[in-house]
Amino acid sequence: MSKYAPHGGRSSNQPRATSSTICQKCLGRGHFIYECKGSRPYLTRPSRTQQLENPKLLAKLKADGKPSVEVPEEFKRPYVPFFDIPV
């Protein structure tokens, strides 16, 4: 036991797991991830190829059909070198 650990069990400021608490590791209810004794379930996700081939899966990625990041105008213009170097 650590010499810095509080004595007497659970301290009053630590939350208690309720029946609505969902473990992020096993997706079970009633405990936190550090208390979990279960194994992590395998969740299948579509591959990138499947997402590109199936428009329904791709629609989930793009809500508006627009890119998620706006590209500034300075990056949209063609590159113009600052210095002319004679060859």
Q: Is residue 59 in a domain?
A: yes
Q: How far from 51 is each of 34, 47, 62, 84, CA to CA, in Å?
A: 34, 6, 11, 45
Quickly count: other Cβ atoms within 10 Å of residue 46's Cβ.
Answer: 14
Q: In the prediction, which pLDDT does 45 show?
A: 81
**What is the structure's pLDDT at 57?**
75
Task: Please give the chain's pLDDT, 87 residues, in tens.
Answer: 556 655 555 556 778 888 889 998 998 999 998 999 989 888 888 888 888 888 887 766 665 556 667 878 877 777 766 776 666
- 57 lies in a domain? yes
Q: What is the pLDDT of residue 77?
A: 74
Instruction: Please report whether residue 17 resides in a domain.
Output: no
How many domains would you assign to the chain?
1
Give the bridge partners for 22, in sequence order. Answer: 29
* Structural domain harbouring 56: 42-66
Report the C-alpha gap between 30 and 19 in whole angstroms.
5
Q: What's the pLDDT score for residue 43?
A: 83
Q: Per-residue DSSP letters for 41-79?
A: PP-----HHHHHH-HHHHHHH-SSSS-SSPPPHHHHSPP
62 belongs to a structural domain? yes
